[in-house]
Amino acid sequence: MKIVSKIEKLFEHGIGRTMLAAICAHSVSISIGICQSYSAILLPQITHEFQVTPEESSWIASFGVVTNPIGSILSGLFAEYLGRKPSILLSSIPFLIGWVCIATSKSITLLYVGRLITGIAAGMSVASYTYVAEISAPSHRGFFQSLGPICASFGILLTYILGAYIKWDVVALISVSFSIFTLIGMQLVPESPDYLLKIGKKEEAMKSFMWFRRSNATVQVEMDRYNGDAEQATKKFYLSSRIIKPFLILVILFLLQALSGIYTILYYAVNFFEEANLNIDEHISSIIVGLIRFTMSIAASILINGYGRKILCIISSVGMAVTMFSAAAYFKYYEIYTDEEKRYRAFPLISVLFNVFFSMVGMLPIPWILVGELFPLRARPIMGGIVICLAQCFTFICVKIYYDTIAFLSFSGTLFLFSFVSLLCLLFTKFVLPETKDKTLDEIEKIFRKRTGDEP
């Protein structure tokens, strides 16, 4: 009875409704997680079935990313001109089509097509972060935004588990169900009140605010604050520091994130452990990676709500640098002393698992959260779409050149590179990244306005 009354109390204050809306919006991230990790279970299974070459393998992996930028641009346009909610709904359609293509493919060509289509869908899904940022109260925004990485991590873990025991085409068919869930779930929640205010629909915005906040006093404060930001964006506005500074911060942050190896390990999880030659079942290792990611994404949602974004990114960067350096040093030793029998084979696996652990503390989820926080309302969908477009280009390049990097630097050299970039992440987050915890979106905008004295 106590649990039921607590849940009722949450809904009375609007927190429960915001939670429902955040889950429905971020459920699309489950499909993103499946898309990101699918190549890890697909490639080992089809290598002999379709006689796939290493070059074709790299394309299958990277095709899940190469069309992400197209989806991101479309997402920005849809969110700006159609609304945040329709943009999320539209992203589910290419996911449905893409998974059906993959599930029914009898040739590598149709696999390519399916991966390209699901890649577009993954790019279109970024509107969920804008939507959740706009419906959340400042004190809970970090938690609700972190539901995105939780859902993505769940999708990744589910893919690794299913891929270890089920054929790749059946996994693709199962993935269709999550797109259907998003389509149904988003019908239950209203449009973002910020967007409704932006297009001048004040009465509908008031109803939306009431649905989320359940308090007339709170709603009026929100309405008063956002009324001033509903004006039309101009070319001068897009060239102001309120846009340029957060844009540069986010682009550099996503570039460092991609170069740190976070996504490379994700896309090539099974192949990664095969390359390491650890005599440990690759699928079990991948499932452990997925389990750690999922567990830590839940822990991170609590940490993000209790601690600042900046300190979590600093801790994350240090942990990633140390763990990846440890794994690199291990493999380097046995690259030099090739005649020695490998000892402590579990050591590099543990190092990589701790690397995943630390990445989930800050450097993986927080850049995505910041996309929905740093830009002003007038520019949020368009600029968010552009930033995510570039972020996905970085990911595509890093995933595509993984084998080339190993050929050029060796396996240990590649891990040393990941460690070095993690140190750069530390410096950047320490000296450049602004703190946004417990600040309203309007207060965050003022951070950049104050620094150069921009006029409103």
The answer to whether residue 88 is domain-embedded is: yes
pLDDT score at 189: 94
404 burial via Cβ count (<10 Å: 0-12, 13-18, 19+):
exposed
d(CA 361, CA 313): 7
The answer to whether residue 224 is domain-embedded is: no
The answer to whether residue 219 is domain-embedded is: no
d(CA 206, CA 149): 30
The answer to whether residue 184 is domain-embedded is: yes
The answer to whether residue 348 is domain-embedded is: yes
d(CA 80, CA 375): 13
| Number of domains making up the chain | 1
The answer to whether residue 349 is domain-embedded is: yes
Return the amino acid letter for 183: L
Return the amino acid letter for 288: I
pLDDT score at 450: 54
The answer to whether residue 175 is domain-embedded is: yes
The answer to whether residue 166 is domain-embedded is: yes
pLDDT score at 55: 78
Tokens 């019908």 locate to 187
Taking Cα atoms as reference points, which of 392, 384, 435, 449 lies closest to residue 121?
A: 392
Where residue 431 sits, what CATH number does that domain have? Answer: 1.20.1250.20
pLDDT tens sequence for the chain (456 residues): 454 454 445 445 557 889 999 999 999 999 999 998 898 888 888 876 777 777 787 788 778 888 888 998 899 899 989 999 999 999 999 999 999 999 998 888 899 999 999 999 998 988 898 899 889 888 788 889 889 989 999 999 999 999 989 999 999 999 999 999 999 999 999 999 888 988 888 889 888 888 886 566 566 666 666 555 545 556 677 788 889 999 999 999 999 999 999 888 776 666 666 666 666 676 787 788 888 889 988 988 888 878 888 999 999 999 999 999 999 999 898 888 777 776 777 788 788 889 988 998 999 999 988 988 898 877 888 898 899 889 988 988 887 888 889 889 998 999 999 999 999 999 999 999 999 887 887 888 888 875 544 444
pLDDT score at 224: 64
Report phi then psi at 299, rounded to 5.
-60, -40
Question: How far is the CA of 275 from the CAs of 261, 268, 270, 348, 413, in angstroms?
Answer: 15, 10, 9, 12, 13
d(CA 414, CA 405): 6
d(CA 174, CA 160): 13
Count of all residues that appear for the chain in the document: 456
Domain housing 74: 2-189+231-452
Q: What does the buried/exposed string (b/e) look like for 412-424 if buried means 16 or more CB atoms within 10 Å of the residue's CB? A: bbbbbbbbebbbb
